[in-house]
Amino acid sequence: MKRFMKWLGILLGGILGIALIGLLGYYIYWLTQARRTIEVDVTAIEIPTDQASIERGKILVEIVRCTECHGKDLSGVLWTDHMLTGAFGPTNLTPGENGISGYTDEDYIRAIRHGVGRDGKALIYMPSNFYSDLNQSDLGDIIAYMKTLPPSSQPGPPNGRTGPYLWNFVLKNPQGLPAIKMIDHKAIAAIPVGPDPNDILAYGEYLALPCKSCHGDDFAGRPLLERLRVPSPNITPYNLDTWTEEVFFTAMREGILPDGTFIPQSLMPWEAIGQLTDDELHAIWVYLQSLPAVANEDAISYQNSDG
């Protein structure tokens, strides 16, 4: 009996030991992946300097939600600072010494489209997989605006300095390291020119890309905006079948829904979306109306919920 217990102990201990070594190996492998230098061929584009482009860049950083993470003035937000998580958050993107001083056009493009930092390492939780679709003109305007930001006097969170607890999430989650787990750097090497504005459907499809991050890939809504505990509604004809283009414009420009309720800025950046031109909003409307009326059982439509 004693012998049996001894052997059982050795066996269980052995299995546990192997499991631990496996787990450790897994983390060491991914940590090495995460800290390796990623070579990307950055395509250069002309960055505009005229006022109109800069102003459009300011609108775009809200529509594509850079400000939601990096802060209204893009001066960075400290998400967490703890022994176990490390000090981490979206970087201070202002050009001063507290931000990204000395950033070249290439550095901007590498970070935004490829999710790779100036040091060649994968940026953590920076959703560049959404931004590789930005066309040359929009990408140029965003960078043009970023270059004119007044330097912030507040130092931002240190770059990629995560502690063991946060690494645990980063390594497990594809969004933790988009540059390694989600982006095919060769496939996105060329920066798209974008569709011809006269091709209304294609143009609308392009302009509606940023809406997907909340309304879902098929625009049929998402159950909840987790952060805010509010459903983001279905915006296919399934839900908008009674809408007219005029109602749509009022919602996008004034934040007012057909039943008279007001959309808070914190739920949807309609103030920025509303600054798109009439032609652009028209193209988005035409595109949304062309979508199949998808019912999404999981998504609680705004109309059917108590909010």
- From candidates 257, 286, 291, 294, binder to ligand HEC by CB under 6 A: 257
Site for ligand HEC contains 239 (CB under 6 A) = yes
Amino acid at 217: D
Site for ligand HEC contains 159 (CB under 6 A) = yes
- From candidates 54, 149, 220, 230, binder to ligand HEC by CB under 6 A: 230
In sequence order, the 6+-apart residues with CB closer than 8 A to the CB of 210 are 63, 64, 65, 130
- From candidates 160, 176, 178, 216, binder to ligand HEC by CB under 6 A: 160
- From candidates 85, 91, 94, 129, binder to ligand HEC by CB under 6 A: 91
Site for ligand HEC contains 66 (CB under 6 A) = yes
Number of residues that bind ligand HEC (CB under 6 A): 47
User: In 81-107, which positions are buried (b, 16+ CB within 10 angstroms) versus exposed (e)?
Assistant: eeeebbebbbbbbbbbebbbeebeeeb
Interface pattern 104-133 for ligand HEC (x via CB under 6 A): ----x--xx----xx----xxxxx---x--
Distance from C-alpha of 151 to C-alpha of 94, rounded to nearest angstrom: 5
- From candidates 109, 166, 180, 211, binder to ligand HEC by CB under 6 A: 211
Report the nearest approach of ligand HEC to the CB of residue 251 (Å): 5
Amino acid at 273: I
Alpha carbon of 145 to those of 42, 47, 139, 176, 304: distances in Å?
20, 10, 10, 27, 40
Which element (helix H / strand E) includes 114? Answer: none
Distance from C-alpha of 197 to C-alpha of 204, rounded to nearest angstrom: 8
Residue 290, φ and ψ in degrees, nearest 5: -80, -10
- From candidates 55, 68, 73, 218, binder to ligand HEC by CB under 6 A: 68
Site for ligand HEC contains 69 (CB under 6 A) = yes
Q: What is the CA radius of gyration of the chain?
A: 23
Report the nearest approach of ligand HEC to the CB of residue 18 (Å): 33
- From candidates 47, 188, 268, 283, binder to ligand HEC by CB under 6 A: 268
Amino acid at 287: Y
Tokens representing 175 are 């969004």
Q: Which residues make up the interface to ligand HEC (CB under 6 A)? A: 61, 64-66, 68-70, 90-91, 93, 100, 108, 111-112, 117-118, 123-127, 131, 142, 159-160, 208, 210-211, 213-215, 225, 230, 232-233, 235, 239, 251, 257, 263, 267-268, 273, 284, 302-303, 307
